[in-house]
Amino acid sequence: MVTPLSCSLPNRREGGPKASGDERLKIAPGSRLHAICGSEDNSEQYYCNYGVNEEYEKQFQAAGLRVSARGMQGESRAVELPDHRFFIATLFQPQLSSRPESPHAFWLAFLRAAMQFQKALSRRNANGASRGKAHAKAGAR
Amino acid sequence: MPTAVRIGIIGDFDPSYHSHFATNAALYDAATKLKVPLLLRWLPTPSLDGADAPKILSRWDGLIASPGSPYKSFTGMLRGIEFARTRDWPFAGT
């Protein structure tokens, strides 16, 4: 499903892997990635030698994975699960262009999702615990 | 003091690999901006290739698949991703 990249990025770093340096992206409108990153800054940093094997793309899509970003030649660069609370995988590495004074929007969105999930989990556990107590009471009678 | 957000990074940390440092840095910077304490740990892939993987993974509020294949245990990595996918756990793979 993953295959060595057939060609290098135009701005490949000297001595770096095929996908190194930056590349412009087309982020699919309506995707979660688009909601996070918008489309105004869509150049991202890479450090990778592999990409999605395009022969499997139809199977990915049939399984519910959607391509949320593509390179200028149409190659898949990011995928996501639309029905999941937060499931995004990217070939680029938003951590490489994140800066202390302006952390990358991708990581801000991921942390926010984790914070919301933590709250949802603790509510779920609190409900579960009270249910557990009720069961224990019922059992004691 | 708000509760710390707990993030587990699935991967085999290599101090010589810039992307791994950058992953840690980006997360701490993002947490600082959001004013939330961050508890960040790397989860080595071999630690996830056993039956207790869900127990280890469910301790975290969000999971990340780190860059840098080949992993020491590809099975461990896949179990981590599968857990996030099937249990609706926040997940980022970069």
Q: Which superfamily is assigned to A2-140 in CATH?
A: Class I glutamine amidotransferase (GATase) domain (3.40.50.880)
List the domain range (segments joined by +) for residue B84: 5-11+20-93
Q: Does B90 touch chain A (CB under 8 A)?
A: yes
Q: What residues does each domain of chain A span?
A: 2-140
- A116: its two tokens: 């919301």
3-state DSSP call for residue B40?
Answer: strand
Q: What CATH code is carried by the domain that includes residue B42?
A: 3.40.50.2300
- Pair B54, B83: CB distance under 8 Å: yes
Tell me the whole-structure pTM to 2 decimals. Answer: 0.87
B41 Cβ contact list (under 8 Å, min separation 6): B6, B7, B8, B9, B60
Cβ–Cβ below 8 Å for B22 and A100: no
With CA atoms as reference, the chain B residue closest to A80 would be B92
Total structural domains within chain B: 1
A-B contacts at Cβ under 8 angstroms: 111
CB–CB contact A114 B88 (8 Å): no
In this prediction the ipTM stands at: 0.97
Q: What is the pLDDT of residues A10-57, one digit of tens each?
A: 666 666 766 667 878 899 999 999 999 887 557 888 777 777 777 888
